């Protein structure tokens, strides 16, 4: 009996060791989600003997995934990567299929093999990046991990909707080293983003070595820090003060970055700004300006931008052609971005050489002079077989026929940009330097509000574009401007997880997107970002609230989170969450109430607490009139906005603000019956970076009959420099009196010292 027992034991052991893995749809954490995915029974398991089969030209693409295997498993696949093999199982093969669309691929896996087909190099890269995402997240580990390297049996057909799927990184406002750029390129590739827009210079820094003009980096790459000051209130530096903050990329650095990106199928497009955003160049070579005066590289924001290249002198164009020649030699991209935005023509209007140029070229105004400038650069680029891209201001004064317009001021620009056949790249809804959570719970940002859900559900919608306009879209892009992004970890925080949402928006047609499905994949994908040591934002776990005017002297509050099936709990008029109430439905509030809420994990608040105080007052819902009427661009909820008790946020696009441009505002409120009052509060916003300023004076009047008004007080507030977005309630108090009519006169700053026109923003008039 012993031999039989031994045989049984051996068989039992063999059964025990045989692996079996089961996958379901929820295990397919693919972002962007492929066009077609079929999950089959079974799996493929990698071993140290797995072979990779492809022609020599595709070996660099294979190495992208085998290098990750080497770090995470210790397996060295270099000898296993071959051009041909007669193996029947345990292999990955790349097959050229000319019938597949550009950048498209097919992917199939079963227990024996993985087959990836494509018609071009990028298609194979994307197929391998899909393999990367199908593998356990530990493939991103930097140390050897003991794990089963299996993927499900699947059949995938996939291709992108847009040709250009870009990320712009501003390295001028704050410098990021080469190593971070390389990491960013790897992360872009995982998400099938194919264009890296390299914003290499701006007023605050020149970041690329130009051998013919060494002072561009000796002087232009460095500035005085002023880190203790807000970006927009940093003072002008003296030209002789030595800059110590900065950095630049050598030409060897650039070559390494471009070559590294090429392995991932990513094109690096340089941006060399002109004629504005070039104070760093003028600091190095003052003779490039109209005024020729020495200036310093600024430490922070500059507006308006008047120190620009002189368009009237030939020396400017000789300089730019020299610079572009060196740049073109470094970047094989067919495109060169030349900026072209936000040029204030103050110096051109005064400059004798610019005036002479306008006369010689029969140019009517400075806008046409700028068009001349851009077209001349375009002619030079064409001579080098390059195509010009510029921000959408390049359409002002006339547009070169073959220039590509990068739209940043809204889709309303698309019609004008495409009417002569020019192609466009949409970026206006991709500004990921904006807040992604409630501003009070986030690091300082430039403003705005662009959470993951808004990106996924609203960004780059083509619904308002005509068929012809849609046909001219080259692609879409996310922009990370770095005024408020001082280091690599902060950059990661702004990029992730929003870049995951962007990638799916770039890849999939609008009608095929499903937020619920994406949000579930996103939440599970965050563990991969953890292993990649990405400092991603946790803002998707925050609770936000929406307050609705319900009429009948009440409001409704809804609470939500971007996290699927979030456990939201709240408390009223207290801060102790030990007895927090689970949120199940919209709340109705009919008296002054403070609500606090949070997403709970393990019976504890997981992130920052949402807090809002709903203040009921005597003007709630009362008739209100305005003289002059508010600006059509910021009309809130109409006339009732300032008495609906719904307060505005620092996101001035939240439709709870009324605004006036330059004008003063007079606001009249009818309480409908005489009431005892002793205090009136005016809610206002200041965000000087966006041109919004606090009122300089507020006057209050009351009346019993609506005809004869009595002054009750005033507040004066002189202009002062402020770099932050601030909400403030201006209170006017007086002895209690019975009155029916209230008039408030609010004075707009009008013309800020830094130039431009001032906005006045008001969200509520509270009466007590």
How far lies 258's CA from each of 266, 323, 388, 734, in Å?
8, 18, 19, 68
pLDDT averaged over every residue in the chain? 94
CA angle 582, 588, 590 (to 5 degrees): 130
Mean pLDDT throughout 539-549? 91
What does the alpha-carbon distance between residue 404 and residue 342 come to, in Å, rounded to a whole number?
17
The gap between the terminal CA atoms of the chain, to the nearest Å, is: 97
pLDDT at 12 over 80: no
Q: Which residue has the higher pLDDT, 5 or 24?
A: 24
Distance of alpha carbon 384 from the chain centroid:
32
Neighbours of 267 (CB within 10 A): 19
What superfamily would CATH give domain 164-531? Glycosidases (3.20.20.80)
Q: Give pLDDT, residue 233.
A: 86
User: Does residue 4 carry a pLDDT above 60?
Assistant: no
Q: Which residue intervals of the chain bear CATH 3.30.379.10? A: 19-158
- Describe the crossing of helices 121-134 and 59-73 by its angle, rounded to 10 degrees: 20
Residue recorded with tokens 């992208």: 64
Is the distance from CB of 275 to CB of 311 less than 8 angstroms? yes
Tell me the C-alpha distance between 477 and 330, whole Å. Answer: 23
Structure letter (DSSP) for residue 372: H
Are 742 and 701 in contact by the 8 Å Cβ rule? The answer is yes
Mean pLDDT of 542-568: 90
The owner of tokens 């087909």 is: 117
Per annotation, catalytic residue among 256, 321, 326, 342: 342
Counting every residue written for the chain, the total comes to 768
Taking the domain 624-767, which CATH number applies? 2.60.120.1190
Domain(s) labelled CATH 3.20.20.80 in the chain stretch across: 164-531
**Residue 460 clears pLDDT 80, i.e. is over it:** yes
- 233, 723 contact by CB (below 8 A): yes
Query: Distance (Å, rounded) from C-alpha 142 to C-alpha 710?
Result: 74
Q: How many CB atoms lie within 10 A of CB 388?
A: 23
pLDDT tens-digit series, residues 599-627:
999 999 998 899 999 999 999 999 999 99
Residue 738 tokens, joined: 């019975």
Confidence grade of residue 756 (pLDDT, cut at 50, 70, 90): confident
- Looking at residue 549, what is its pLDDT? 76
Residues sharing a CB contact under 8 Å with residue 538, sequence separation 6 or more, in sequence order: 606, 607
Proportion of the chain above pLDDT 90, given as a percent: 88
CA distances (Å), 257 to each of 132, 332, 456, in order? 22, 12, 30
Q: What is the largest CA-CA distance in the chain?
A: 116
- The answer on pLDDT for 689 being more than 70 is yes
Window from 181-195, 246-260, 334-348, 390-404 with minimum mean pLDDT: 390-404
**Distance of alpha carbon 246 from alpha carbon 225, whole angstroms:** 9
Please check whether residue 204 is in contact with residue 693, taking contact to mean a CB–CB distance below 8 angstroms. Answer: no
**The domain at 542-614 falls in which architecture?**
Sandwich (2.60)
Q: Is 441 helix (H, G, I), strand (E, B) or coil?
A: helix
E strands along 504-655, which residues? 543-551, 554-561, 568-572, 581-582, 587-589, 593-601, 604-605, 610-614, 624-627
pTM for this predicted structure: 0.91
Sheet strands (E) in 408-472: 424-426
Residue 14 banded pLDDT, cuts 50, 70, 90? very low
The pLDDT of residue 18:
56
Please tell me the distance from the alpha carbon of residue 283 to that of residue 221, in angstroms, as a whole number: 10
| pLDDT attached to residue 191 | 99
pLDDT, tens digit (0-9, with 9 covering 90-100), for 64-104: 999 999 999 999 999 999 998 888 999 999 999 999 999 99
Report the alpha-carbon distance of residue 366 to residue 364 in Å, rounded. Answer: 7
**Is residue 342 annotated as a catalytic residue, yes or no?**
yes
Q: Report the alpha-carbon distance of residue 749 to residue 760 in Å, rounded.
A: 8
CATH 2.60.120.1190 domain extents, the chain: 624-767
Helix, strand, coil share (%) of the chain residues, nearest 5? 30, 30, 40
Task: For residue 205, give the nearest of 157, 182, 171, 161 by alpha carbon.
Answer: 171
Q: Has domain 19-158 been given CATH number 3.40.50.720?
A: no
Name the strand (E) or helix (H) holding 629: none
Strand 473-480 vs strand 424-426: parallel, antiparallel, or unpaired? Answer: parallel
Listed in order, the ranges of the chain carrying CATH 2.60.40 are: 542-614
Question: Is 146 exposed, middle or buried (CB count within 10 Å of its CB: 0-12, 13-18, 19+)?
Answer: exposed
pLDDT at 405: 97
DSSP H helices, 39-154, are 59-73, 121-134
Q: What is the pLDDT of residue 144?
A: 86
- Residue 644 dihedral angles phi and psi, to the nearest 5°: -95, 5
For the stretch 709-738, pLDDT in tens is 999 999 999 999 998 899 999 999 999 999
**Confidence band of 15 (pLDDT split at 50, 70, 90):** very low
Strand ranges, E, within 656-767: 658-661, 665-686, 697-703, 710-716, 726-747, 759-767
Neighbouring C-beta atoms of residue 734, cutoff 10 Å: 15
For residue 25, pLDDT over 60 is answered with yes
Q: Is the per-residue pLDDT at 49 higher than 50?
A: yes
């Amino acid at each position: 009996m012993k031999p039989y027992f031994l045989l049984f034991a051996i068989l039992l052991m063999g059964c025990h060791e045989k692996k079996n893995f089961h996958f379901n749809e929820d295990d397919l954490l693919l972002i962007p989600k492929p066009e077609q995915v079929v999950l089959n029974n079974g799996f493929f398991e990698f071993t140290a003997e797995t072979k990779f089969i492809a022609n020599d030209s595709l070996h660099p693409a294979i190495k992208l995934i085998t290098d990750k295997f080497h770090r995470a498993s210790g397996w060295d696949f270099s000898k296993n990567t071959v051009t041909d093999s007669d193996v029947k199982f345990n292999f990955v093969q790349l097959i050229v299929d000319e019938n597949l669309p550009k950048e498209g691929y097919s992917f199939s896996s079963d227990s024996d093999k993985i087959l990836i087909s494509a018609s071009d190099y990028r298609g194979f890269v994307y197929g391998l990046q899909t393999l990367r995402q199908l593998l356990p997240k530990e493939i991103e580990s930097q140390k050897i991990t003991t794990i089963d390297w299996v993927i499900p049996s699947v059949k995938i057909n996939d291709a992108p909707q847009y040709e250009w799927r870009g990320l712009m990184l501003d390295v001028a406002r704050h410098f990021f080293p080469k190593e971070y750029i390389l990491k960013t390129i790897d992360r872009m590739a995982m998400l099938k983003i194919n264009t890296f827009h390299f914003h290499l210079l701006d007023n605050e820094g020149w970041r690329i070595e130009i051998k013919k003009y060494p002072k561009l980096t000796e002087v232009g790459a460095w500035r005085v820090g002023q880190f203790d000051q807000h970006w927009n209130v940093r003072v002008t530096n003296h030209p002789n003060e030595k800059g110590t903050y900065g950095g630049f990329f050598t030409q060897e650095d650039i070559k390494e970055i471009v070559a590294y990106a090429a392995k991932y199928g990513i094109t690096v497009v340089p941006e060399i700004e002109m004629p504005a955003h070039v104070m760093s160049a003028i600091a190095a070579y003052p003779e490039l300006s109209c005024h020729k005066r020495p200036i310093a590289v600024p430490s922070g924001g500059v507006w308006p931008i008047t120190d620009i290249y002189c368009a009237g002198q030939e020396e400017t164009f000789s300089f730019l052609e020299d610079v572009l020649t060196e740049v073109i030699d470094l970047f094989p991209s067919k495109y060169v971005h030349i900026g072209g935005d936000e040029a204030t023509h103050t110096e051109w209007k005064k400059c004798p050489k610019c005036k002479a140029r306008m006369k010689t070229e029969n140019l009517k105004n400075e806008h046409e002079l700028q068009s001349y400038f851009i077209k001349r650069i375009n002619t030079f680029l064409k001579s080098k077989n390059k195509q010009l891209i510029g921000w959408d201001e390049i359409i002002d004064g006339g547009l070169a026929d073959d220039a590509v317009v990068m739209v940043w001021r809204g889709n309303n620009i698309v019609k004008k940009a495409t009417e002569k056949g020019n192609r466009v790249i949409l970026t206006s809804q991709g500004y990921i330097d904006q807040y992604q959570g409630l501003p009070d719970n986030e690091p300082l940002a430039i403003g705005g509000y662009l959470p993951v859900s808004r990106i996924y559900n609203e960004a780059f919608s083509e619904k308002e574009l005509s068929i012809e306009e849609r046909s001219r879209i080259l692609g879409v892009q996310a922009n990370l401007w770095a005024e408020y992004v001082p280091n690599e970890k902060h950059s990661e925080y702004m990029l992730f997880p929003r870049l995951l949402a962007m990638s799916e928006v770039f890849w999939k047609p609008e009608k095929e997107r499903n937020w619920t499905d994406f949000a579930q994949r996103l939440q599970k994908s965050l563990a991969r970002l953890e292993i990649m040591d990405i400092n991603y934002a946790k803002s998707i776990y925050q609770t936000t609230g929406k307050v609705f005017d319900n009429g009948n002297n009440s409001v409704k509050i809804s609470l939500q989170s971007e996290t699927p099936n979030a456990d939201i709990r709240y408390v009223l008029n207290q801060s102790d969450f030990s007895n927090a109430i689970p949120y199940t439905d919209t709340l109705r509030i009919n008296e002054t109430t403070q609500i606090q809420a949070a997403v709970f994990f393990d019976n504890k608040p997981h992130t920052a607490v949402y807090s809002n105080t709903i203040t009921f007052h005597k003007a709630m819902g009362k008739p209100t009139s305005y003289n002059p009427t508010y600006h059509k661009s910021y009309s809130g909820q109409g006339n009732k906005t300032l008495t609906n008790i719904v307060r505005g946020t620092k996101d001035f696009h939240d439709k709870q603000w009324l605004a006036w441009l330059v004008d003063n505002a007079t606001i009249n409120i009818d309480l409908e019956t005489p009431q005892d009052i002793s205090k009136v509060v005016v809610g206002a916003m200041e965000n000087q970076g966006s041109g919004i300023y606090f009122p300089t004076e507020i006057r209050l009047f009351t009346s019993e009959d609506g005809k004869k008004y009595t002054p009750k007080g005033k507040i004066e507030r002189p202009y002062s420099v402020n770099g932050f977005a601030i909400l403030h309630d201006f209170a006017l108090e007086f002895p209690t009196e019975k009155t029916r009519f209230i008039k408030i006169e609010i004075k707009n700053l009008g013309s800020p010292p830094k130039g431009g026109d001032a906005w006045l923003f008001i969200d509520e008039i509270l009466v007590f």
